[in-house]
Amino acid sequence: MSLAQSIFLDRVPFTLSYDYIIYTDGTYVYAFNTKTKQIEFVNTDASTVVQSAINALPNGGIIKLAVLTINGNIIIGNPGIYLEGGAVAPGIQFSNTTTNATTINGNVSISAENVMLRNIRINGNLTFEATPDLSNIAHYCICENVAVYGTVNIVGASGADSGHVPFNIFFIGGDITISTAGGTCVNLISEAPSAIGHIYFIGTAITQLQSGTLINIQGNFADVHFTNCLIFPASTGVTVISLAPSPVNGYFSLQNFTIDGCSIEVGATDTTFLYVPSSLSGNPISILVNGGAIVGNTLNKIIDDNTTGGRAFHRLVFIGTQLTDQTSLRFRQVWSPPQVQVMFIGCQMKSGVTVTQLATGVFETAVYRNNMNFNPKGLLATPFVSNVISLLGTGSPAPSTDYRVSDVDVMIQVTGGTGVSITIKDPAGNIVISGVSTLPRTLLPIGYTINFGAFTVAPTVIVEGL
């Protein structure tokens, strides 16, 4: 029996589909070339052998790794490399203490297209980027059941070459865990002048064990999607999503960002869902949270936005999300004029949940519709604030002032007062009612405006949230 016939990895005989099979006898690490049927590389250092096999495949190929430990960094600069680890079955989540897995104790850098990693644990950072000379860049790359105990970086080129950004990066299964304070699990950085790059995380567990950020996005990206992931801000001082401009040229836009069917398990009460710094400006973006759940503790802030101008962040939408552990929906925003829209539609909420504004800013539009345990809201005692009828209101109407209905549809009734002249307009500005001094119980949907005229004695206004 030849050497080639006697090699077994993971108790499965090798097939000629592999270009190299890399295994160890406990002392030496061997790279067996299945085409020449020769052991081509031998060394006591596994990283040297693995890197040699990668470099020997300029046009790509498949490398099968046994269960072994690779101490050192791995650089994949050749396109079409498929690096498959051993033992741990696809779809089985493993921890950084698992011994039955191929482990890289170092950083992995990918700067080539059509690269796939499968069944590997990385105790270090995983980076998708461009080569310094831009001869290649990470495109159409897949990580399947890869555990990263460090940061996943997706980084575009710099300066005049900033239009080169990794795109179509798929991270399927596996997990990403940060255990150092101030760290980031997923770090997306682009200096591109327009929104390019398509990033997908599917069925991945993403965990921040100390203070820091789970998902950091800087610069311009076209699509970022997290689907059926477990997102776990486990400790204190964690931000789930942080938006920031490019660190070099200040670009920022994000055309499509979805968190679809994910479970966000909040480990501490000072967790922030979305942070927007004061330096952010750029094109409007939308973040869609579709289904899934935010469970555990109440978020300290759903939005913490320090933007004082520009229209960098536009819309945050929750559809059908379970929010039953949120005793208060807390927002902090300081922008002026109001430009941000927040929507909760068809969500399951905690009975008695309140809405709290932690700063002086106001939403352009807030919509709460068809939410279990939240709609209808009932009587709103002081619904008027800053030209808005809102759950965050603080007082009564002022004369000759347009008030736009926000947050929830309302039933409004107006009686009494002196010099009252009511005008109601639809969202397009068309006059629906004008010149009346009283109003029977009337439905005003979100987006409608009402003006009570230049009254000298304020009318009695009863507002019910639906």
- pLDDT digit string, tens, across residues 412-456: 999 999 999 999 999 999 999 999 999 999 999 999 999 999 999
**For 166-222, what is each residue's pLDDT tens digit?**
778 999 998 999 888 889 999 988 877 666 778 999 999 999 988 899 999 887 788
Measured CA to CA, the distance from residue 53 to residue 55 in angstroms comes to: 5
The residue with tokens 């693995």 is 50
The residue with tokens 């005229």 is 453
Q: What is the pLDDT of residue 274?
A: 87
26, amino acid identity? G
- Give the helix ranges, DSSP H, for 90-240: none
Q: What is the pLDDT of residue 430?
A: 96
Q: What is the distance of C-alpha 208 from the center of its chain?
A: 14
Q: From 13, 46, 12, 15, select the one nearest 28 (Cα to Cα).
A: 46
72 close to 47: Cβ distance less than 8 angstroms: yes
Q: State the DSSP H helix or E strand holding residue 119, giving kind and residue range, or none if neither.
A: strand 116-122
What is the SS3 assignment for 50? helix
What is the SS3 assignment for 161? helix
Q: What is the pLDDT of residue 279?
A: 59
Q: From 383, 342, 345, 346, select the one nearest 365 (Cα to Cα).
A: 342
**DSSP annotation of 458:** P
Measured CA to CA, the distance from residue 264 to residue 249 in angstroms comes to: 32
The encoded tokens of residue 241 equal 């999503």
Residues in the chain, pLDDT under 70: 1-16, 88-99, 131-135, 157-163, 193-195, 247, 250, 278-284, 306-313, 333-339, 359-362, 364
For the question of whether the overall pTM of this predicted structure is more than 0.75, the answer is yes
Measured CA to CA, the distance from residue 466 to residue 457 in angstroms comes to: 28
